[in-house]
Amino acid sequence: MLRVAIVDDEAAERARIRECLNFLTEEDHLEFDVDEYPSGLAFLMGKMSGYDIVLMDVDMPDMNGIETAHHLRKEDQSAVLMFVTNMAQYAVSGYEVDALDYIIKPINRYSFALKMRRAVSRTTPQSDDVLSVKSGSTLYRVPIYSIHYLEVSGHHVTYHTSAGDFTEYSTLKDVRQKLPQRCFAQCNQSFLVNLRCVTSISREKIVVDGTELFVSRKMRQSFLTAVAEFCGGGSL
C-alpha cells in the first residue's frame, strides 16, 4: 500500500488524478491510500510527512506548490515529489526541492501511468509488503523488497532473498500473480527477477546482486522492455 497526497486547489483536477490512480491500480495491481488537500496551507496543516508520493499543483492561491514543497522538504526528504501543472516553466525550480518529474495538465492517463511507475520505483519499500511462503511445515513472512529473484524447478519455487532461500510447492505463474508486476520480470523460463536488484545487463546475461543469470532469446525483448519501463519509460 502506497501513501499518496494530492495537493491541488481544483476539485476536478483532484478527481482526475484519482481516476488515473484507479487506472494504474487496474493495470499494475497497485494499491494506493490517498489523501486530498485543497491548498498548500491545508497540506502543511495536515499530516504532510509520511507520504510515499506527493502530487503537487504549482499554481495555487496564497501558497504555491514550489513554496509548499520547500516546507515539505524541511520535514520529509524521502517522499517522491512530482508537480502536476500546466506551467512547465517552473521545471528549474523543481530541482531545488528534489522533484522527480512534472505531469502536464490536461492529464493523460497513459503518460501519467508511465511517470507514476517511475515514481513508485523510487519509493522506499515498506516492511508490511510481505508474502506468506510455506517452506516445509513452516510458514514464513517474506518482505517483497528482500526477494532478489525466484527460481522454479519442477513443482517448486525457491525464493532467493537477503535473509536466505525459501522453497515452497507452487508454480512461477501462481507466485507472479502475488507480486507487483512493475518490479518483477522473467529473464528466462526458470527465473523471475526483482528489477530493483539488477546491477548489470548484457545481451545474454544479467547480474542480480552478484548472481549471474541467463537471459533467453525468447524473453530478451520483453525483459528489456520491462526494465526500461521500470526505469521510467526510457530505452536500453
Number of domains in the chain: 2
Rounded Cα–Cα distance for residues 57 and 107 (Å): 12
**Tens of pLDDT, residues 168-190:** 999 998 998 888 877 899 999 99
Q: Is the pLDDT of residue 48 over 90?
A: no
Q: How far is CA 127 from the centre of its chain?
A: 15
What digits encode the pLDDT tens for the residues 6-41?
Answer: 999 999 999 999 999 999 888 877 889 999 999 999
- Residue 91 pLDDT greater than 90, yes or no: no
57 with 37: CB under 8 angstroms? no
Q: Are residues 140 and 114 in the same domain?
A: no
Secondary structure, 3-state, 96-162: HHCEEEEEECCCCHHHHHHHHHHHHHHCCCCCCCEEEEEECCEEEEEEHHHEEEEEEECCEEEEEEC
175 phi, psi to nearest 5 deg: -65, -40
Average pLDDT over residues 121-140: 77
Reduced to 3 states (helix: H, G, I; strand: E, B; else coil), residue 177 is coil
Q: What is the mean pLDDT of the chain?
A: 87
Last residue in a domain, options 122, 149, 178:
122
User: Does residue 217 lie within any of the structural domains?
Assistant: yes
Same domain, 187 and 84: no
